[in-house]
Structure 1
Amino acid sequence: MRLTTRRLFVAAGILGMVIATAPPGQAGTGYFNTYQEEGATPNVGEHTGAQGFAVGADYNYSIKNRSRDDGSAVIYRVPNATEVPQVMTNGANNSKSIAGLGHANDMTIATIGGVNHFFIVTMSSTGYQVKKLSYSGNTYKEVGRFTVKENGATKAVSGINRVLVTSTKIDFFFKSGSTVYKGSLPATANTGTINITKAFTLKTSGALVGGKPIDLTGFVSQGFFYHESKKVLYYPLTKANVSVVLVYRNVTSTSTGVLAPSKDTSFRITSAKYSKFEIESLGINSKDGKLYFNTNRSTSTNGNLDGVQVFEGYVA
């Protein structure tokens, strides 16, 4: 069931209270701690874990992997409209699942020759670290697989985002923990090795959330999103029922060293409703500029509460 008319306001630190959002006339700055439901992504058989996420112009895409983590996954298509979220179809066998995606921790979208593609990181230390799927409408098909190496050794990266797509190549950012790497592929390649090099590290110590320092001890690094047109990187971290998103500005493919988070923009959800509220990954919609994300959510009695949401009040 669509939940777009239902708004959940969650205070950061004080239950039931809505704190400040962006000041008028300052789009893209401020403190954001409320969200709106966009659509549910319920469990499909044993596919119970929300993981990778990407935002298209009209749809959000969220992956759920199987609890035994054997590489089987389903992909939800969640519209920015009145349609009901759908489980996409694997065009290779007309099923609703796909094998071999590993943990499927993060994904990005790249349009190549007019065809849309998902690039998904498996987090596997053997075999393939990136899978390439073409998709049209509600159907996808695996068309490529790649190994990722750093200095000749396999690297099980946990995050991926496009940086630049041209007719001849695709440049990516990859992430492992808080370290970001860069690598490239020929635009039409379907096999091969992506050799990555370290670009920069995302500093989290001393981060300000809501204008105050936050202790991020014990928080888990999730996916990330790079907004190439704005040169802004969004980095979610989670712990139990708390999710924060740190923002890094003026990020480019030539950035190096240690990058400090913005002091004027931050996000936090402290959920009173859910005992687990993990923002897995996120993305900006090119039409409305809003920041969408997917969640792995549960209560003490219900683990089937994952979905797609959007931060209220924020426009990139």
Structure 2
Amino acid sequence: MRVGRRLVIMAPVIAGVVALTESPALAAYYNTYTDIADTPDTNGCTGAQGFAAGSTYLYSIKNRTGSDDLSVIYRVNKATGDRVLMTNGTSGGVTNPWLGHGNDMTIVDIDGAHHLFVVTMKASGGPQLVRLRYDGTTYYFAGSYELNLNGATAAPSGISRVSVSSTTITFMFKSGRTVYNGSLPLRADSGTIALTKAFDLQVDGALVNGATVPDLDTFSNQGFYYDTASQVVYNPLTKDNRSIVLVYRGVSPTTTGTAPAASDLSFRITSSAYTFFEIEGVGISDGKLYFSTNRSNDSGAHDGVHVFKDYVAA
């Protein structure tokens, strides 16, 4: 999430920073990253929001902050850094009015076609979940859904695909530190998804590089990613020029209570180059942990998509 700021255009590929270190306890700790491409402000859209990592491409939403009434979507080749501003095939141009805050998204294939499911964070006045079908660099409006928790509208900030069957798509949603389950008929283009609470994510007292972070309880929650095959949740938290990703192992839709953060694996970027360094969303592709950022310093905005160096998911 982010507040508005001015238009900045920058070169697509930037070098990464710092190096992998380990604590005395030999906890696996990653604090280096490589820039893959920038995602510059365009068409009044200045806030990097939802992110998803596909097998070949990374997808990043930018919206018009303050009003949440306009969005664009970047597609970046994760290997080459080639960047394309995707086209709205439904109503033309490169912007769309459908995604609200667009804080997180997940990729789902339906009948051989690729789709992005995006949480809008609209508490009222619109759907809380939007589906886009995309083909190459063009996307189309394909559905919208209401989210409901205990009879009231729910507006979660995170979404991750869990499973796809011949009839049903199952998701995890996240609001703050709480994860919810929800499902949708595979081909439904509208309807209501009833959420049920699954588990909470431990944040307070979590270890980062083998030690606690005293003010971690004041960090902002962002999107999240559930690695279904490994049953691992990656949970980014941000404050000023610091971003932390906590990891939770052995979780599933049937998990209840509080999931403990892993004590032997963590990620952190404390940026000296940027006064504001906010990881918005994360995703695993080919075992690597990719992410998107809102970044800025005195020279302006430097949003982009990136990958943590050296990390390979087990």
TM-score under structure 1 normalisation?
0.92
Contact 1:134 1:140 in 2 (8 A): yes
- Alpha carbons 1:21, 1:33 under 8 Å: kept: no
Q: Deviations over 1:56-83 (max 9, x none)?
A: 1000000000023232100000112325
Partner of 1:313: 310
Does structure 2 conserve the Cα–Cα contact (< 8 Å) formed by 1:112 and 1:167?
A: no
SS at match of 2:306: strand
Q: Which runs of 5+ in 1 are unaligned?
A: 11-17
When structure 1 is superposed on structure 2, of 210-219 and 136-145 the one drifting more is 210-219
User: Mean alpha-carbon deviation: is it higher for 56-65 or for 209-218?
Assistant: 209-218
Q: Provide the rounded CA distance (Å) in 2 between the counterparts of 1:19 and 1:224.
A: 23
Where do residues 122-271 of structure 1 align in structure 2 (5 Å cutoff)? 122-126=120-124, 127-215=126-214, 216-271=216-271
The alignment partner of 2:217 has SS state of coil
Question: Which residue of structure 2 lines up, in the alignment, with residue 54 of structure 1?
Answer: 52
For 1:14, the equivalent position in structure 2 comes to: none
Letter in structure 2 aligned against 1:125: A
Counterpart amino acid of 2:108?
A
How far does the alpha carbon of each residue in 1:28-80 deviate from its partner, in whole angstroms, 9 at most, with x for none? x7100000001110000210000000011000000000023232100000112
Q: Indicate the residue corresponding to 1:2 in structure 2.
A: 12
Query: Which whole-Å CA distance do the structure 1 matches of 2:297 and 2:176 have between them?
Result: 27
Deviation per CA, 1:180-206: give whole Å up to 9, x if none.
000000000100000001000001111
SS of the aligned residue for 2:21 comes to coil
In the aligned structure 1, how far is the partner of 2:98 from the partner of 2:90? 13
The 3-state SS of whatever aligns with 1:273 is: coil
Indicate if the aligned counterparts of 2:132 and 2:143 stay in contact, CA closer than 8 A. Answer: yes
Q: Distance in 2 between matches of 1:160 and 1:220?
A: 16
Moved more, 76-85 or 50-59: 76-85
Q: Deviations over 1:276-312 (max 9, x none)?
A: 0000010000xx310000000100341x210000000
d(CA) in 1 for partners of 2:50 and 2:81? 21
Identity over the aligned pairs, expressed in percent? 51
For 1:145 and 1:112, locate their aligned partners in 2 and report how far apart those are by CA, in whole Å. 15
| Residue matched to 1:69 | 67
Distance in 2 separating the partners of 1:70 and 1:63 = 12
Letter paired with 1:233: V
Q: Deviations over 1:225-261 (max 9, x none)?
A: 0000110000000000000000000011100001110
Shift of 1:21: 5.7
Q: Distance in 1 between matches of 2:117 and 2:123?
A: 17
RMSD: 1.6
Q: Which residue of 2 aligns with 1:13?
A: none
1:171/1:183 contact within 8 Å kept:
yes
Give me the whole-angstrom Cα distance separating, in 2, the residues matched to 1:54 and 1:290.
13
Question: What SS class does the counterpart of residue 217 from structure 1 fall into?
Answer: helix
Residue pair 1:131, 1:145 contacting (<8 A) in 2 also: yes
Contact 2:232 2:251 in 1 (8 A): yes
**1:96 matched residue in structure 2:** 94
User: 2:280: which partner in 1?
Assistant: 280
Q: Distance in 1 between matches of 2:188 and 2:96?
A: 21
Question: Unmatched 5+ residue regions in structure 2?
Answer: 1-10
Q: Which residue of 2 aligns with 1:39?
A: 37
Q: Secondary structure at the match of 1:69?
A: coil
SS at 1:9's partner residue? Answer: coil
Q: How many residues align?
A: 300
| Conserved? CA contact 1:113–1:167, under 8 Å | no
- Residues 61-111 of structure 1: per-residue CA shift (max 9 Å, x gap): 000000232321000001123252111000012210110211000000000
Q: Secondary structure at the match of 2:218?
A: coil
Say if 1:21 and 1:188 are closer, same or farther in 2 by CA, change over 3 A.
Answer: farther
Instruction: Work out the CA distance in 2 between the residues paired with 1:274 and 1:57.
Output: 29
Is the contact made by 2:36 and 2:81 (CA closer than 8 Å) also made in structure 1? Answer: no
Q: Distance in 2 between matches of 1:274 and 1:69?
A: 25
Alpha-carbon distance, 1:218 to partner: 1.8
